[in-house]
Amino acid sequence: MIKNEFNKITSSASLAALSLALILTPGVDAIGTIGDGAEAARGQDQTANLFGNTGVFSTITDVLLYILGAISVIMIIIGGLRYVISGGNSTNVTAAKNTILYAIVGVIIAILAYAIINFVLASFTSEGSGGTNV
């Protein structure tokens, strides 16, 4: 009985001390941008330019968009060939049209994703508050 009361008192005292410490602790303000954090985390042998037109992120997205463009052109050509050699069979014609349609939808989604990523990166790396580099 006494042990339970002692545990209640110590837990209440601990909670009160923690609450008081949180109340009396001065606020911490974030300083810098995401670019500053990325620069601080960069190793010695890594490139210094992570953002911008020649940065690592731009290079990666450019390469991925190039690969996606090549794959989509190949799929559109395959869909066109399937359409030509379908011989009027309705199931083959539908499959060929779907191949072309899905390739075009994939390109549109990739372009929209690229635009969204650029907008978000520009928002996070802009200097000052409230502005974007769009």
pLDDT tens digit sequence for 74-124: 999 999 999 999 988 999 999 999 999 999 998 898 888 888 877 877 777
pLDDT, position 102: 94
Cβ neighbours of residue 134 under 8 Å, at least 6 residues apart? 118, 119, 122
Give me the helices (H) in the chain, please.
2-24, 34-41, 56-84, 90-125
- Give the three-state DSSP class for 92: helix
The CA-CA-CA angle for residues 82, 87, 90, to 5°, reads 80
Distance, in Å, from the CA atom of 11 to the CA atom of 121, rounded to the nearest integer, reads 46
CA dist., res. 96 & res. 78, Å (int):
8
- Predicted confidence at residue 129, as pLDDT, reads 46
pLDDT digits 0-9 by tens, 20-67:
555 655 655 556 666 677 666 666 666 666 666 666 777 887 888 889
Contacts 24+ apart (CB under 8 A), 75-78: 75/99, 75/100, 75/102, 75/103, 75/106, 76/100, 76/103, 76/104
**The model's pTM:** 0.52
Q: Is 32 helix (H, G, I), strand (E, B) or coil?
A: coil
pLDDT at 94 (0 to 100) = 95
